[in-house]
Amino acid sequence: MAEPWKIGMFQCAGLMGAWKLPENRSTELFELDHWIRMVRRCEDAGADFFFFADDYGYPVVGDGIPDTAVRGGVQFPKGDPTMILPALAAVTERIGLVTTLSTQVELPPMVARKMATLDHMTNGRVGWNIVTGAGQNASARLFGRPLTEHDARYEIADDHVDLSLKLWEGCWDEGALRVDRDAGVYADPDGVREIVHDGPHFRSRGVLAVPPGPQRTPMLFQAGASVPGRALAAKYAEAVFLAAEVPALKEQIADIRRRAAENGRDPRGIKCLIAGTFYVGETNEDAQRIRARQVATKTLDDAAASYAFFTGLDLSKMDPDKPLDPEAGLTQTGRTNVERFLGPNAPTVREILEEFQANSVMGAPYVGSPVEVVDEAQAVLDETDADGFLVQPDHTGTFDSFIDLVMPELRRRGLVADAVERTTLRERLTGSGSPHLAPEHPGAAYRRTTEPAREPAGV
Ligand SMILES: Cc1cc2nc3c(=O)[nH]c(=O)nc-3n(C[C@H](O)[C@H](O)[C@H](O)COP(=O)(O)O)c2cc1C
């Protein structure tokens, strides 16, 4: 029998593709109630986690943001998910809460402090999506910094995660937090220590001032499937987000699992989640109609702006009848969505635009009745060896159709659990039975052996 699906729900604190449809609610993005309603529905439906994608980018073409992006709401505007997450933590008890923080923007002590604090506030339900960052050309301009080259960004990311792990795992011994009012001991000084990090990109000597939350290190996710992205995932990630056509997904997942095994990690310990778009209706015709309505909201200019955001490349200036120049693969912005359109049988520029107009970065959608989409999606999981889906919002900008139509079908087939216990996100997704990183994870090496807290002298 098939394994239960791992299910995450994808959002960004921004406009969603089909915002022009009257029933789309993503224009409510700056209303807290919008998020609260949505996360509660996801929790009640039994989703494993709610994910906020994030970046500081937006499309940049030539010398700035194109009118199309501003007018058409393409990867623009966006709010800051870390400002929304605590409110979602307050109204939920079981669902995981995951967000992106870019290793190009936030320094490791900032990531470590925010995530450790959120781990407490969520009772161990927080996850960090490690990315070097989409929209890097825009983000570099905004921060007034030169654009760091693609592969160098991944070297920085590696050093960043290494230092963050030291801060989470190495500063506080288990049991060092005492809060003993009678003895006047808040924390045991012998159990709290400075870490020293002298890496190729970051230097640090200090203590993370936040004692460990239930997971200590937040559950680690990764997105960005270029070759160095996969190497980063295989080293550190406990879950990976992927989006591509089925043969490419199969190859990427096999590659990540193979690299994980080479690193001495359990290849199945990395949960591979496919970004899945579900157009679902009571009947196949309903679903096809919804899809057509959604696709019609996007122009080819919107598609070009969206492609520019992910890759830094302006398709509108290229010959529509030719494939991408192989040199495009050297773009210093994101590479995942360039590499997937190169090689034998490469599509033309026009076909890439049409693909982005229809499906954006997400690969082919699942379209049909609940039975049809679950059959098809299950076949993709079997074919690719993936563990589940990161579900894209539907044409309403919410997950209502997935929750109302797909979840009952999954439940009928035993592909989602009936009742969900309150656990940490790591336990829920990895099934490891421990809230902490697996012993073979590189972060575990920074842990100090547990020593019983000493009584202060004279007590
Ligand atoms: C489902 C999914 C979610 C993603 N979420 C983010 C995100 O929140 N922020 C981000 O900068 N990149 C995100 N990415 C990755 C970017 O699309 C992009 O590939 C990456 O940032 C650039 O790295 P690359 O050169 O390895 O592609 C996501 C990718 C997928 C498939």
DSSP 57-79: ----BTTB--HHHHHHTSS--B-
Q: Which atom of ligand 1 is nearest the CA belonging to 135?
A: 11
| CA-CA-CA-CA torsion sign (308, 312, 317, 322) | negative
Q: What share of the chain is helix, strand, coil (3-state, %, to 5)?
A: 40, 15, 40
How far is 18 from 194, CA to CA, in rounded Å? 49
| Ligand 1 centroid to residue 172 C-alpha, Å | 32
Shortest CA distance to 73 belongs to which of 27, 134, 142?
27
Helices (H) and strands (E) in the chain, counts: 16, 14
Decide if 100 contacts 50 (C-beta within 8 A): no
Domain 6-289+364-446, what architecture?
A: Alpha-Beta Barrel (3.20)
For residue 243 and ligand 1, the question of a CB distance below 6 A is answered with yes
Q: Which atom of ligand 1 is nearest the CA belonging to 275?
A: 1
For residue 131 and ligand 1, the question of a CB distance below 6 A is answered with yes
| Ligand 1 centroid to residue 93 C-alpha, Å | 28
**DSSP-derived 3-state class of residue 1:** coil
How far is 193 from 186, CA to CA, in rounded Å? 15
Decide if 203 contacts 185 (C-beta within 8 A): no
For residue 224 and ligand 1, the question of a CB distance below 6 A is answered with yes
- Half-sphere exposure (CA, 13 Å, Cβ side) for 297? 22
Per-residue three-class SS string for 11-57: EECECCCCCCCCCCCHHHCCCHHHHHHHHHHHHHHCCCEEEEECCCC
Task: Give the C-alpha distances (Å, rounded to integers) separating 335 from 150, 274, 342.
Answer: 8, 18, 11
Structure tokens at 20: 């022009």
Q: Specify the length of the chain in residues.
A: 459
pTM score of the predicted model: 0.95
Nearest CA to ligand 1 atom 23: 224
Residues β-bridged to residue 8: 49, 390
**DSSP-derived 3-state class of residue 81:** helix
Shortest CA distance to 409 belongs to which of 381, 451, 375?
375
**DSSP-derived 3-state class of residue 136:** helix
| Ligand 1 centroid to residue 253 C-alpha, Å | 16
For residue 391 and ligand 1, the question of a CB distance below 6 A is answered with no
For residue 157 and ligand 1, the question of a CB distance below 6 A is answered with no
How far is 139 from 240, CA to CA, in rounded Å? 23
| Ligand 1 centroid to residue 339 C-alpha, Å | 14
pLDDT of residue 114: 98
Decide if 168 contacts 443 (C-beta within 8 A): yes
Scanning the structure block, which residue is given the tokens 């098939």?
A: 2
How far is 156 from 201, CA to CA, in rounded Å? 6
| Ligand 1 centroid to residue 243 C-alpha, Å | 9
**DSSP-derived 3-state class of residue 269:** helix
pLDDT of residue 450: 47
For residue 335 and ligand 1, the question of a CB distance below 6 A is answered with yes
Per-residue three-class SS string for 384-450: HCCCEEEECCCCCCCCHHHHHHHHHHHHHCCCCCCCCCCCCHHHHHHCCCCCCCCCCCHHHHHCCCC
| Ligand 1 centroid to residue 64 C-alpha, Å | 21
Scanning the structure block, which residue is given the tokens 């972060």?
A: 443
- Half-sphere exposure (CA, 13 Å, Cβ side) for 371? 3
Amino acid of residue 59: P
* Per-residue tens of pLDDT for the chain, all 459 residues: 789 999 999 999 998 879 999 999 999 999 999 999 999 999 999 999 999 999 998 999 888 999 999 998 999 999 999 999 999 999 999 999 999 999 999 999 999 999 999 999 999 999 999 999 888 888 999 999 999 999 999 999 999 999 999 999 999 999 999 999 999 999 999 999 999 999 999 999 999 999 999 999 999 999 999 999 999 999 999 999 999 999 999 999 999 999 999 999 999 999 999 999 999 999 999 999 999 999 999 999 999 999 999 999 999 999 999 999 988 988 888 888 998 899 888 999 999 999 999 998 888 999 999 999 999 999 999 999 999 999 999 999 999 999 999 999 999 999 998 777 889 999 999 999 999 999 999 999 999 864 444 444 443
Report the residue among 16, 336, 337 best suited for mutation to probe ligand 1: largest number of ligand atoms under 8 A from its CB. 336
| Ligand 1 centroid to residue 349 C-alpha, Å | 22
Nearest CA to ligand 1 atom 8: 53
For residue 241 and ligand 1, the question of a CB distance below 6 A is answered with yes
Structure tokens at 210: 């936040």
| Ligand 1 centroid to residue 119 C-alpha, Å | 23
| Ligand 1 centroid to residue 427 C-alpha, Å | 25
For residue 134 and ligand 1, the question of a CB distance below 6 A is answered with yes
How far is 444 from 217, CA to CA, in rounded Å? 10
For residue 390 and ligand 1, the question of a CB distance below 6 A is answered with yes
Nearest CA to ligand 1 atom 20: 224
Burial 272-290 (b: 16+ CB within 10 A, else e): bbbbbbbbbbeebebbeeb
- Count of C-beta atoms within a 10 Å radius of residue 421: 8
Report the residue among 131, 142, 256 best suited for mutation to probe ligand 1: largest number of ligand atoms under 8 A from its CB. 131
| Ligand 1 centroid to residue 373 C-alpha, Å | 25
pLDDT of residue 458: 40
pLDDT of residue 335: 87
Q: Which atom of ligand 1 is nearest the CA belonging to 335?
A: 25
For residue 8 and ligand 1, the question of a CB distance below 6 A is answered with no
Q: What is the DSSP string of 291-344?
A: HHHHHTT--HHHHHHHHHHHHS--GGGS-TTSBPPGGGGG-SS--HHHHTT-ST
Nearest CA to ligand 1 atom 14: 223
| Ligand 1 centroid to residue 223 C-alpha, Å | 5
